[in-house]
Structure formats: C-alpha cells, structure tokens
Amino acid sequence: MEIVKQDNEQLEKLKYHYGEILKLLGEDTERDGLIKTPERVAKAVQFMTQGYEMDAREVLLSAKFREDYRQMVIVKDIEFYSTCEHHMLPFFGKAHVAYIPNKYITGLSKIARVVDIFAHRLQVQERMTTQIKECIQQTLNPLGVMVVIEAQHTCMQMRGVQKYGAVTTTSDFTGVFEVAKTREEFISLIKN
C-alpha cells in the first residue's frame, strides 16, 4: 500500500503523547533504545490508519470498464493487516471477495486495494467485511457481492483469553449471493 502524504502536525502531536505514555509506564525516554521510539510509533500509527485518507470508491472507479461478462469474479487470499479499535492491537488474515458483474468490471488489483483501505483504519472485522461489500455493491452495481474474511486477533492471543491460532470468520453478501447455491459455489472455489 502506498504511503499517503504525512501530516507533520499530527506526527508531532502523536510523538508527544507516545512519549508521555512511555513516561507513565515508568520508562526513561532519554535512554538509547527509547529516544526515537515515540516518533517511530507515531509514524507506524499514521501508516496503519492511512485508510481514513483514501476513498475506496474512487479506487474502483479509476479502473471501471464496461464488459458483458456475467460470471463470478473472485479475488481470494488477499492478505491484510488491521488494527482492532477495542485494544489497538493487530488483527490479520485473508479476505476473499467475489462479485458477479452487471455490465461493469474493475481492475482486479483494485479489489485488493479496497480491502487495504478499509483494513488501514481502526476496525472491527464485522464492520470491515460489510464496508468492503457495500463499497463494491454501490460503486459497480453488480448482480451481487460476497466477502468472507478469516482473521487472527492478537487481542485474543496476547491478553485476555490467550487463545493463539483461533480464527474468526465473517461473511456478508448481496444480490445473487442470497441464493444458497451461489454462496456454496463461492465457498467451494475459495477453499481450493
């Protein structure tokens, strides 16, 4: 994912606050290992939340083409990394996206970029699944869209229940994917 223009005023404020957090934890922010940590964390947070500065619909529209293809288009195993809004810890996994065109298609890489844009925001997996689906449905007006996301949440692994390897699966769909047979075809194709 490309890096959007860095907001220097925001960077300075984040740097300051992360320095204060380190001090509250009892750390010496002047020791060698921590001198640049507030700035590194601030830049990382800006990168991990740059999806707020991007318009997913514009990405799809930038490569929207008229085409009479009316079969399922699937982009599967789209790797993503996101940040849980509840604990600000990472969750990561794969998204599988399908749509059945209705006169228009989009560049295949644009589907992956839409996933990245929504992943690069403070998120919950359920909302992210629906946002991807709605963006594609509203922008391309296909006969249907289906999104399945499989992810591991470090908030479940590093704290609380501490269940490493647990995978959460979410799905959302519209149009022709409301027919069980169409959903089953999609699921069988992403499991291969």
The residues assigned a catalytic role are 84-87, 125, 153, 155
In whole angstroms, what is the distance from residue 29 CA to residue 18 CA?
A: 10
Nearest to 175 by CA among 98, 65, 81, 68: 98
Let me know the angle formed at the C-alpha of 43 by 42 and 44, rounded to the nearest 5 degrees. Answer: 90
Q: Which two three-digit tokens encode residue 74?
A: 């699937």
Q: How far is CA 144 from the centre of its chain?
A: 20
Q: How far is CA 42 from CA 6, 51, 71, 163, in A?
A: 11, 16, 44, 29
Residue 27 exposed, middle or buried by CB count within 10 Å (0-12, 13-18, 19+): middle
Residue 10 is classified by DSSP as: H
**Using CA atoms, how far apart are residues 45 and 51, in angstroms rounded to an integer?**
11
